[in-house]
Structures are given as C-alpha cells and as structure tokens.
Amino acid sequence: MKYASEDLRNEHEGVLFGLGILEKMVNTVKQSGTVDTKDIDDMVNFLRLFADKCHHGKEENLMFPAMEMVGIPNKGGPIGQMLIEHNQGRQYIAEMGASISSGILHVDRFTEAATGYINLMRAHIEKENTVLFPMGDKMLPMNEQEHLMNQFEEFEEEVMGKGTHEKLHETLHRFEKKYLKTRE
C-alpha cells in the first residue's frame, strides 16, 4: 500500500457489500411483510462494529485529524461534512436497532431507517473516494501515510480484535448465501 486511504477504500467495499445485502433485506420485508429478526440484529451489529466503530473510528480519530494538520478544512469544509454524515449514519443504525422490540419487527420503522442509511452511506462513500481521499493522497507526506497505516493496524486490533473480524466475515458470508444467491 502506498496511501493510507487505500485501507479505508477497501473497507468501503466491505460496507457497500453489506449495504447490498441490507437492501435485499428491505425488499424481502416489503414483499413478504417479514424477515428473520435475528438477521437484522446481526446486520445492525455488523454496521455498528465494522462500518461505524472500526471504519468511522479510523477516519475520525486518525485520518481526519492528520488531514486537518495539513490544511484540509474541518468546520464548514469537507471533513466537517463527513462528520455530520457519520452522525446521521449512527442515528439510522440506532433506529434500525430500535425497530425490533421483544423480537417483533416494526416494518415501516425498519425499512425507512435502512433505506435512509443505504442512500446516505452510498453517497458518503462516493464523496470520500472521489473528493476527500484524493486530497489527502496529494497533501499528506509519505512518512505520514506510513505512520497512519501503522496506526490503522493498531486501532483495528484495539477496537475489534482479530476474532471479531472473522466473525463479521462469517456473518456476511452467511447473508450472501441467503440473500444474494437464492433470492434473485
């Protein structure tokens, strides 16, 4: 890897993959009126841990501060906008989680929050990939890129632990088989 943003771009692919499955879940709910609530729980857990805690954690605690240091604006600028969107994402995830109570799914509450989240995150990732990260690639010196990559690794171990990553992968794989391969 040359740029620290490459690690974050790879994670974007993982998040987008999860969003594709979430979209199928929404369609399943709309068509049949229900979906396995355990699957929604697992999806919310994936988004909370991987998309928010790990990925947004790396951006907010490491990447964005480094970008600010080299002059990319936060408040009123691209970083500030990304932070606003992370918070909106958190609200959608909380809302999805709250759409299940005592094992019962509140269909509209779930589909509205999930659709809002999918649209928000797809646009958000597009902005980071095409606007913010190219700025960082250009402005952050190579020694800082390397430093960030090391920090990302440490951060990941710290907040996720190796076992968690594997478990989330398994969950996605199970979803892939259930929602992407058999329900076309």
Judged by the rule CB under 5 A, the positions of this chain that interact with Fe ion are 59, 82, 128
Q: Which is nearer to Fe ion, 82 or 96 (CB)?
A: 82
Q: Which is nearer to Fe ion, 7 or 128 (CB)?
A: 128
Q: Which residue has the tokens 């606003």?
A: 84
Distance CA 78, CA 86 (A): 13
CA-based nearest residue to 174, from 95, 106, 89, 182? 182
Q: Are 96 and 51 in contact (CB under 8 A)?
A: no
Q: Which residue has the tokens 């080299």?
A: 70
Q: Max Cα separation, the chain?
A: 53
Q: Which is nearer to Fe ion, 83 or 107 (CB)?
A: 83
Task: From residue 69, give the alpha-carbon distance in Å to each of 29, 130, 136, 154.
Answer: 46, 20, 11, 21
Q: Which is nearer to Fe ion, 51 or 113 (CB)?
A: 51
- Least distance (Å) between residue 174 CB and Fe ion: 24
- Least distance (Å) between residue 103 CB and Fe ion: 32
- Least distance (Å) between residue 44 CB and Fe ion: 18
- Extract the tokens encoding 67: 């970008």
- Least distance (Å) between residue 73 CB and Fe ion: 16
CA-based nearest residue to 93, from 114, 73, 123, 67? 114
- Least distance (Å) between residue 63 CB and Fe ion: 9
Q: Which is nearer to Fe ion, 62 or 105 (CB)?
A: 62
